[in-house]
Structures are given as structure tokens and as C-alpha cells.
Amino acid sequence: MRIALAADHAGYEMSAAVDYPDYAEAVAVVLREGQVERGVIVCGSGAGVSIAANKFPGIRAAVCHDCYTAHQAVEHDDMNVLCLGSRVIGARLAHEIVRAFLAAKFTGEERHLRRLAKVHDFEARFSGRL
């Protein structure tokens, strides 16, 4: 599996300040182009990169600070971008969460497909509208 990884300054010690939307865009673009299957983005809380990444059609990003949410979001919601908060969780837990995310597979169950189709419909109807 090919994975795109990105982080703003909160994801790296001693890094110069950068804007998280730039990193969310970089991951979203390569994912949408099919260069990678999933993405992991880190910022201080995970919220900013999640909000930015979810502006791109086809991106299903979520903040996960525990292993259950990371695998469940893939299995039920077909999450393709994991967002982590470096100021919320430590490195050891982050590694466990990434492992859970990468090991998980979308179930494809009818109820999940039905719900995901509704989300895709929202995206189609409201894409580009403010």
C-alpha cells in the first residue's frame, strides 16, 4: 500500500512554522490522482488538516486519537486520510493508530455502502458552493 505522509510544524520538532492547508492539499492531490491509496496528516490537534483535506472531493479524512476509531472509520466509513494531533497524543500511540488505520479494510456491507452513497451525494450536490 502506498501512503502519503505530511505534517505541519507541530508534527516535527524544531520545524519552521508552515501552513497546514498546504500539507493537507499535497496529500489530497496525490490521493485523488491515484498515486497513493491512503494518507496520514499531522498537525497540532488534527482538526485543521481534517477540515482542509475534507474540502477535496473523494477525500474522507477524520481525526483519530485511538485505535478503535482509526480502524472503525475505515471499516464503516471508508476513511482514506488519517489525521492526528501531535499535541494530543504521543508518538507510541500515534504509531499504534497508524497501524490500525493501515490494517483496516472497508467492509463493503450494504448499510455502509448506502450511507457512503449519501455522503457522495452531498459532495456532488454541494461541491463548489459556499
* Catalytic-labelled residue, pool 9, 65, 67, 76: 76
| Active-site residue, from 9, 43, 65, 67 | 43
CA–CA gap between residue 64 and residue 29 (Å, rounded): 21
Residues 106 and 100 sit within 8 Å (Cβ to Cβ): no
| Inter-axis angle of helices 110-126 and 67-77, nearest 10 | 80
Q: Does 67 qualify as catalytic in the annotation?
A: no
43 is catalytic: yes
> Which residues are designated catalytic?
43, 76
